[in-house]
Structure 1
Amino acid sequence: MITVNLYYKGENGSARAFADEMETSGIAEAIRNEKGNLRYQYFQPIGDSETVLLIDSWEDQSAIDAHHASPMMEQLAKLREKYDLHMTVERFISDEYEADSKFIRK
Protein backbone atom coordinates (compact mmCIF):
# COMPACT_ATOMS: atom_id res chain seq x y z
CA MET A 1 0.00 0.00 0.00
CA ILE A 2 1.16 3.53 -0.79
CA THR A 3 -0.22 6.41 1.26
CA VAL A 4 0.14 10.02 0.21
CA ASN A 5 -0.56 12.82 2.68
CA LEU A 6 -1.36 16.06 0.88
CA TYR A 7 -1.52 19.24 2.93
CA TYR A 8 -3.64 21.89 1.20
CA LYS A 9 -2.92 25.39 2.50
CA GLY A 10 -4.92 28.48 1.70
CA GLU A 11 -6.31 31.67 3.20
CA ASN A 12 -9.65 32.73 4.64
CA GLY A 13 -11.01 29.19 4.83
CA SER A 14 -10.23 28.32 1.20
CA ALA A 15 -8.70 24.91 2.00
CA ARG A 16 -11.83 23.84 3.87
CA ALA A 17 -14.05 25.24 1.09
CA PHE A 18 -12.03 23.19 -1.43
CA ALA A 19 -12.50 19.98 0.58
CA ASP A 20 -16.21 20.72 1.00
CA GLU A 21 -16.61 21.22 -2.76
CA MET A 22 -14.66 18.03 -3.49
CA GLU A 23 -17.20 16.18 -1.35
CA THR A 24 -20.39 17.91 -2.47
CA SER A 25 -19.47 17.80 -6.17
CA GLY A 26 -18.97 14.02 -6.08
CA ILE A 27 -15.33 14.21 -7.20
CA ALA A 28 -14.05 12.75 -3.93
CA GLU A 29 -16.53 9.86 -4.13
CA ALA A 30 -15.56 9.19 -7.75
CA ILE A 31 -11.91 8.97 -6.70
CA ARG A 32 -12.83 6.59 -3.87
CA ASN A 33 -14.46 4.37 -6.48
CA GLU A 34 -11.40 4.26 -8.73
CA LYS A 35 -9.71 0.88 -9.03
CA GLY A 36 -7.00 0.51 -6.42
CA ASN A 37 -8.09 3.34 -4.12
CA LEU A 38 -8.11 2.25 -0.48
CA ARG A 39 -8.69 5.60 1.26
CA TYR A 40 -9.48 9.17 0.29
CA GLN A 41 -10.34 11.23 3.34
CA TYR A 42 -9.98 14.87 4.39
CA PHE A 43 -9.03 16.09 7.87
CA GLN A 44 -8.42 19.50 9.42
CA PRO A 45 -5.58 19.86 11.93
CA ILE A 46 -6.50 21.20 15.35
CA GLY A 47 -5.21 24.73 15.66
CA ASP A 48 -4.66 25.28 11.90
CA SER A 49 -7.88 26.36 10.23
CA GLU A 50 -6.06 27.25 6.99
CA THR A 51 -4.83 23.70 6.27
CA VAL A 52 -6.67 20.58 5.20
CA LEU A 53 -4.96 17.19 5.15
CA LEU A 54 -5.92 14.60 2.56
CA ILE A 55 -4.93 11.01 3.33
CA ASP A 56 -4.94 9.17 0.02
CA SER A 57 -4.04 5.44 -0.03
CA TRP A 58 -3.64 3.17 -3.06
CA GLU A 59 -2.91 -0.51 -3.63
CA ASP A 60 0.24 0.21 -5.65
CA GLN A 61 1.99 2.68 -7.95
CA SER A 62 0.07 1.54 -11.03
CA ALA A 63 -3.21 2.51 -9.32
CA ILE A 64 -1.77 5.96 -8.55
CA ASP A 65 -0.56 6.32 -12.14
CA ALA A 66 -4.03 5.44 -13.47
CA HIS A 67 -5.56 8.00 -11.10
CA HIS A 68 -3.12 10.68 -12.27
CA ALA A 69 -4.10 9.93 -15.89
CA SER A 70 -7.84 10.10 -15.15
CA PRO A 71 -10.17 13.00 -16.02
CA MET A 72 -10.55 13.62 -12.26
CA MET A 73 -7.10 15.21 -12.17
CA GLU A 74 -8.20 18.05 -14.46
CA GLN A 75 -11.21 18.73 -12.22
CA LEU A 76 -8.95 18.65 -9.16
CA ALA A 77 -6.46 21.07 -10.72
CA LYS A 78 -9.26 23.53 -11.54
CA LEU A 79 -10.52 23.46 -7.96
CA ARG A 80 -7.00 23.94 -6.57
CA GLU A 81 -6.67 27.03 -8.77
CA LYS A 82 -10.14 28.28 -7.86
CA TYR A 83 -9.24 28.22 -4.16
CA ASP A 84 -5.58 29.31 -4.71
CA LEU A 85 -4.19 26.39 -2.72
CA HIS A 86 -0.57 25.46 -2.17
CA MET A 87 0.47 21.93 -1.30
CA THR A 88 3.09 19.92 0.48
CA VAL A 89 3.25 16.14 0.11
CA GLU A 90 4.47 13.19 2.17
CA ARG A 91 4.58 9.67 0.72
CA PHE A 92 4.68 6.42 2.71
CA ILE A 93 4.95 2.79 1.69
CA SER A 94 3.38 0.37 4.16
CA ASP A 95 5.60 -2.40 5.46
CA GLU A 96 3.13 -3.97 7.95
CA TYR A 97 5.80 -4.16 10.67
CA GLU A 98 4.49 -6.92 12.93
CA ALA A 99 6.43 -5.86 16.05
CA ASP A 100 4.34 -2.68 16.27
CA SER A 101 1.12 -4.68 16.63
CA LYS A 102 1.67 -5.28 20.36
CA PHE A 103 1.33 -1.50 20.91
CA ILE A 104 -1.98 -1.21 19.04
CA ARG A 105 -5.16 -1.49 21.07
CA LYS A 106 -7.94 -2.94 18.95
Structure 2
Amino acid sequence: MVLQKDLDSWEDQESIDVHHASPMMQTIMDLREKYDLHMTVERYVSDKSMPDKDADFIRK
Protein backbone atom coordinates (compact mmCIF):
# COMPACT_ATOMS: atom_id res chain seq x y z
CA MET A 1 0.00 0.00 0.00
CA VAL A 2 1.33 3.45 -0.94
CA LEU A 3 0.25 6.13 1.49
CA GLN A 4 2.00 9.07 -0.06
CA LYS A 5 4.27 9.65 -3.00
CA ASP A 6 6.56 12.66 -2.79
CA LEU A 7 9.11 13.91 -5.23
CA ASP A 8 12.15 15.70 -3.87
CA SER A 9 14.88 17.18 -6.00
CA TRP A 10 18.34 18.61 -5.43
CA GLU A 11 20.66 20.59 -7.69
CA ASP A 12 23.70 18.35 -7.30
CA GLN A 13 25.31 15.58 -5.26
CA GLU A 14 26.72 18.09 -2.76
CA SER A 15 23.16 19.27 -1.99
CA ILE A 16 22.06 15.67 -1.42
CA ASP A 17 25.03 15.10 0.90
CA VAL A 18 24.11 18.20 2.96
CA HIS A 19 20.52 16.95 3.18
CA HIS A 20 21.68 13.51 4.33
CA ALA A 21 23.91 15.11 7.00
CA SER A 22 21.06 17.19 8.45
CA PRO A 23 19.58 16.37 11.89
CA MET A 24 16.21 15.82 10.20
CA MET A 25 17.61 12.75 8.40
CA GLN A 26 18.17 10.93 11.70
CA THR A 27 14.53 11.56 12.61
CA ILE A 28 13.42 10.26 9.22
CA MET A 29 15.59 7.15 9.58
CA ASP A 30 14.24 6.51 13.08
CA LEU A 31 10.65 6.75 11.81
CA ARG A 32 11.41 4.43 8.89
CA GLU A 33 12.77 1.87 11.34
CA LYS A 34 9.92 2.29 13.85
CA TYR A 35 7.15 1.94 11.25
CA ASP A 36 9.01 -0.35 8.80
CA LEU A 37 8.71 2.24 6.03
CA HIS A 38 10.35 1.75 2.65
CA MET A 39 11.14 4.06 -0.22
CA THR A 40 12.11 3.98 -3.85
CA VAL A 41 14.78 6.27 -5.26
CA GLU A 42 15.04 7.25 -8.90
CA ARG A 43 17.71 9.54 -10.30
CA TYR A 44 17.06 11.82 -13.23
CA VAL A 45 19.40 14.09 -15.14
CA SER A 46 18.15 17.44 -16.39
CA ASP A 47 18.30 17.83 -20.15
CA LYS A 48 18.39 21.47 -21.19
CA SER A 49 18.75 20.63 -24.87
CA MET A 50 15.03 20.10 -25.53
CA PRO A 51 14.19 20.61 -29.22
CA ASP A 52 11.72 23.42 -30.01
CA LYS A 53 9.28 20.87 -31.47
CA ASP A 54 9.00 19.22 -28.02
CA ALA A 55 8.46 22.55 -26.22
CA ASP A 56 4.93 22.75 -27.67
CA PHE A 57 3.93 19.85 -25.41
CA ILE A 58 5.18 21.46 -22.18
CA ARG A 59 3.05 23.82 -20.11
CA LYS A 60 5.15 25.98 -17.79
Q: TM-score, normalised by structure 2?
A: 0.75
Q: Residue 103 of structure 1 aligns with which residue?
A: 57
Matched, 1:81 2:33: yes
Q: What does the per-residue CA deviation read over 1:58-81, in whole Å, with 9 as the maximum and x for residues that have no partner?
A: 111111111111111101001112
Q: Which amino acid aligns with 1:78?
A: D
| Rounded Cα–Cα distance in structure 2 between residues aligned with 1:105 and 1:54 | 21
5 Å-filtered alignment, 1:17-56, equals 50-51=1-2, 52-56=4-8
Q: Which protein shows a greater Rg?
A: 2
Distance 1:96 1:83 in 2: 39
Please state how far the C-alpha of 1:101 moved relative to its aligned partner: 1.4
In structure 2, C-alpha distance between the alignment counterparts of 1:78 and 1:94, rounded to whole Å? 32
After TM superposition, where is structure 1 displaced by more than 6 Å over at least 4 residues in a row? Answer: none
Report the number of matched residues. Answer: 57
Unaligned 5+ runs, structure 2: none
The answer for unaligned runs of 5 or more in structure 1 is 1-49
Q: Which has the higher strand share?
A: 1
Q: Distance in 2 between matches of 1:98 and 1:61?
A: 23
Higher mean displacement: 53-62 or 88-97: 88-97
Structure 1 vs Structure 2 CA RMSD: 1.6
